[in-house]
Amino acid sequence: MTTALEKDRVLIFDTTLRDGEQSPGATMTHDEKLEIAGLLDEMGVDIIEAGFPIASEGDFKAVSEIAERSKNAVICGLARANFKDIDRCAEAVRKAAKPRIHTFIGTSPLHRAIPNLTMDEMAERIHDTVTHARNLVDDVQWSPMDATRTEWDYLCRVIEIAIKAGATTINIPDTVGYTAPLESADLIRRLIETVPGADEVIFATHCHNDLGLATANALAAVEGGARQIECTINGLGERAGNTALEEVVMALKVRNDIMPWHTQIDTTKIMHISRRVSTVSGFPVQFNKAIVGKNAFAHESGIHQDGMLKNKETFEIMRPEDVGLSGTSLPLGKHSGRAALRDKLNNLGYEVGDNQLKDIFVRFKELADRKKEVFDDDIIALMRSGEDAENDHLQLVSMKVICGTGGPAEATLEMEIDGKDLSATAQGDGPVDAAFKAVRELYPNSAHLQLYQVHAVTEGTDAQATVSVRLEEDGNIATGQSANTDTVVASAKAYINALNRLIVRRGKVGEGADTREISYKDAT
């Protein structure tokens, strides 16, 4: 990518498929990665960090195919500061119309101690690896990991080395979410003023949200002169997550009066990709999440509702339509036909073929028989619960639960495992516990339940329940989701969905098990 950038333009670098997927339990399948990359490309993301090619064969294949399919975005792969990583990364992105290698090394005292490199040894490593990367591609991004805790003089020194070695973008990561907005702006500004050659490259900012300041820090960095923001959809990422794409993009759009910079993001596509990332990652979006949360455009206070009825601008600083929310949410019912369902799906951002519509319509009718009205959120939940079932190793066929005050709950499950129908009955402390025990009897496993969460999709006693289950087994973490008007059925399906994701993560099914057992010492 050229470094000649209009001064008021901010590049959006999305790392949902790399840093976002590193969030514990957020594993995506190969096809899911391709789908999300396609959506990012369509919405106008400038650079897509498609993965960490050296991490696994699956990551390499995903980055390679995304590179080949990309139409507009720069496709970037991540590489540690060694030739093996960089060569693998170059091979993965080579078919992209606009390939980029992003190489990094930790420069703070804490991070230098891990590979046991002196300042001079690390400086030499940076020169050699950035030079090597630039010999392979024209577009090289370099990051001093934990930059915000690196000594000032040394940070300036290594950035100058990276620029002279051929880096075209210098990314300044706040790796542990330690900095504050004033510091973020000041750091970028001082680096641009101090480091020789800084005016010839693009400075980027990569902020984590450990103190809840990622968005503020990223926008402050732009104020200081950064012209690339690294972010993820829904703020997905390790620990408390990364800068949320939707937040910085909409902040720049809504408050352009005081932040006179712009992006090329089509904001009307935000809500759809937010929902897709939530679905494929298994991470639900909190109700009060800015921009994309369920309550982001909801008004319950009487004063707020009165103001909204008289003038929407009294309590809305942006329109729901700006982020891709339909202006209306008219419910469907059991008498609604295929045409109405297809129109609703299109309004929600789903494009489906005729065969897929037939399958969805059957499940829609089943839901409509149980619910008087089927709202937008019900349709979205319906789409989520029906995805990837045919490729699952484990599938729920039927279940029956007996519970009450008279004794322990009992669950009888019939499951299809590798094409074989099996059944089991188990008792437990409540219907959900009994259902989970029946699943374990049919598919023995040592997975530890880390999270069990239930929330209603819509209102009323006939509302669908969306259940999230997070499992951990031997260091592998996977999250499953499902929705159903029967909370126990949704719970069992979410548990099975999480098990299926664990199976993929262990590499027992499909390609590209995610084995991110990579260490700092490998970079030496």
Binding-site residue ranges for Mn(2+): 19, 206, 208, 242
CA distance 167 to 175: 20
Pair 236, 26: CB distance under 8 Å: yes
Q: What are phi and psi of 408, to 5 degrees?
A: -65, 150
Phi-psi region of 419 (alpha: psi -120 to 50; beta: other; left: phi over 0): left
Q: Which residues pair with 102 in a beta bridge?
A: 78, 141
Strand partners of residue 331: none
Residue 389 in tokens: 């079932």
Q: How far is CA 230 from the centre of its chain?
A: 13
DSSP string, 124-151: HHHHHHHHHHHHH-S-EEEEEETGGGS-
Tokens of 253: 């759009």
Strand order in the sheet with 448-456: 448-456, 465-473, 476-484
Residue 399 to residue 414: CA distance in whole angstroms: 6
Task: Report how far residue 363's alpha carbon sits from residue 296's, in angstroms, rounded to the nearest whole number.
Answer: 29
Question: Among 119, 106, 112, 234, which Cα is nearest to 176's?
Answer: 106
The helix or strand, by DSSP H or E, that contains position 207, with its residue range, turns out to be strand 202-207
SS3 93: helix
| CA distances to 383, 389, 480, 491 from 395, in Å | 17, 7, 13, 13
Secondary structure of residue 267 in the 3-state scheme:
helix
C-alpha 33/C-alpha 58 separation (Å) is 10
The answer to whether 277 and 33 are in contact (CB under 8 A) is: no
* Rg of the chain taking only CA atoms, in angstroms: 24
379 Cβ neighbours under 8 A, 6+ residues apart:
332, 341, 344, 345, 348, 364
Separation CA 429–CA 520 (nearest Å): 45
From edge to edge, which strands make up the β-sheet containing 394-402? Answer: 394-402, 409-417, 420-428
Question: For helices 245-254 and 214-224, what crossing angle results, to 10°?
Answer: 50
C-alpha distances in angstroms, 114 versus 81, 298, 353? 13, 48, 52
**Closest C-alpha among 141, 143, 142, 150 to residue 179:** 150
Q: Do 204 and 229 meet the contact criterion of CB atoms below 8 Å apart?
A: yes
Binding-site sequence positions = 19, 206, 208, 242
Closest CA to 437 of 409, 465, 469, 398: 409
Beta bridge partners of 471: 449, 478
